[in-house]
Amino acid sequence: MIEYARSLVGRAIEYYTCFISYSSQDQAFAERLYADLQNKGVRCWFAPEDMKTGDVIRDQIDQSIRLYDKLLLVLSEHSVQSNWVRFEVEAALDKEREGKPPVLFPVRLDDAVLTSSTSWAAHIQRSRHITDFSMWKQHDDYQRALTRLLHDLQPEKPSKEE
Judge whether 51 lies within some domain: yes
Q: Is residue 115 part of a domain?
A: yes
**pLDDT above 90 for 96:** no
Residues 82-92 have a mean pLDDT of 89
Interatomic CA distance for residues 114 and 126, integer angstroms = 9
Residue 158 lies in a domain: no
Mean pLDDT (whole number) for 109-131: 93
When comparing pLDDT for 69 and 25, which is higher?
Answer: 25
Strand order of the β-sheet with 18-21 is 44-45, 18-21, 70-75, 104-108, 131-132
Q: Answer yes or no: is 9 within a domain.
A: no
Q: Are strands 44-45 and 104-108 parallel, antiparallel or unpaired?
A: unpaired
Range of the domain at 95: 17-152
96 vs 13 pLDDT, higher one: 96
In a domain, 129, yes or no: yes
Res. 13 pLDDT band, cuts 50 70 90: low
Tell me, yes or no, whether 76 lies in a domain: yes
Task: Give me the pLDDT at residue 25, please.
Answer: 95
Q: How far is CA 106 from CA 2, 13, 92, in A?
A: 26, 22, 11
**CATH number of the domain enclosing 38:** 3.40.50.10140
